[in-house]
């Protein structure tokens, strides 16, 4: 499985961006797919995941109410709509698939990162 992420960029605080991640193959329907991010000098952190089996979506507390993860089964693609962006959202966002939950170590596949920069 190969993952191709896109949609990062530079935006002012309060603005919006939409990230996309397309998977070349399909992982088990029991797995999750989602996004993690890593800011300079910080550890990678969980952002959001979605279950292909319909088990739901999960978000880290700092993005709840601002970010929305969604998926297109037919296209094997996951999206992250990011609204009301804050400077602290600045990071490299990486897509992951074949996850058994929201922990990065449980993910089998990783895409290249896409930079999101939010200016104040």
pLDDT score of 53: 81
Residue 79's H or E segment, with its range, is strand 77-82
The answer on pLDDT for 107 being more than 70 is yes
Residues 49-102 have pLDDT tens digits of: 999 887 799 999 999 999 999 999 888 899 999 999 999 999 999 999 999 989
pLDDT score of 29: 63
């Amino acid at each position: 499985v190969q993952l191709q992420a896109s949609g990062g960029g530079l935006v002012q605080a309060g603005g919006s961006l939409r990230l996309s991640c397309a998977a070349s193959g399909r992982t088990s329907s029991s797995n999750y797919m989602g996004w993690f991010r890593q800011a300079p000098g910080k550890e990678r952190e969980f952002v959001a995941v979605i279950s292909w089996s319909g088990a739901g979506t999960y978000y880290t507390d700092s993005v709840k109410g601002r970010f929305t993860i969604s998926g297109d089964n037919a296209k094997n693609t996951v999206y992250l709509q990011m609204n009301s962006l804050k400077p602290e959202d600045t990071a490299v966002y990486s897509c992951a698939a074949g996850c058994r939950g929201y922990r990065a170590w449980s993910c089998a596949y990783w895409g290249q990162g896409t930079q999101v920069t939010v200016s104040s």
